Amino acid sequence: MGKKRKRRGWYCRICGRYRSNESFTGKGRKKHICKDCAKLSGAEQASNAAVNKIINLPFSLSKDQIKWLRKKAHDSRPDVREAAEMELEMRFGTNNEPEIPDYDDDFLFDDDFF
Ligand SMILES: [Zn+2]
């Protein structure tokens, strides 16, 4: 009989769920991609992960995060764009976009996924 572990499993950054050990390969665990999501194409994974990230943004955003989000509202992927637009609207309203100073375009997150 196997002992039940307390751990809820592993977080999949693509579908944004905690999933059981069995839902991951060893390699997937490291990359936080479950078996189901590993089957998706790289483009689908990136798009899902971006949507996921948008949905999980903290309540209070830094200027960099706002800028990232606004950039995503013009993303070429419709899913990402819609999620970002919704998020912006929810947070700032449609006619009330925050003013963002122009920084250089260095990548804002250490995520090689986007
Ligand atoms: Zn997944």
* pLDDT the model gives residue 21: 93
- CA–centroid distance, residue 14 to ligand 1 (Å): 5
- CA–centroid distance, residue 65 to ligand 1 (Å): 24
- CA–centroid distance, residue 103 to ligand 1 (Å): 33
Q: Do residues 35 and 24 touch, judged by C-beta distance below 8 A?
A: yes
Query: The pTM is what?
Result: 0.70
- CA–centroid distance, residue 20 to ligand 1 (Å): 11
Q: Using one digit for the tens of pLDDT, what is the confidence trace for 93-110?
A: 865 555 665 555 444 554
- CA–centroid distance, residue 51 to ligand 1 (Å): 13
* pLDDT the model gives residue 11: 93
- CA torsion, ordered 39, 78, 94, 90, to nearest 10 deg: -10
What residue has token string 């693509």?
14
Q: Using one digit for the tens of pLDDT, what is the confidence trace for 27-45?
A: 999 999 999 999 999 999 9
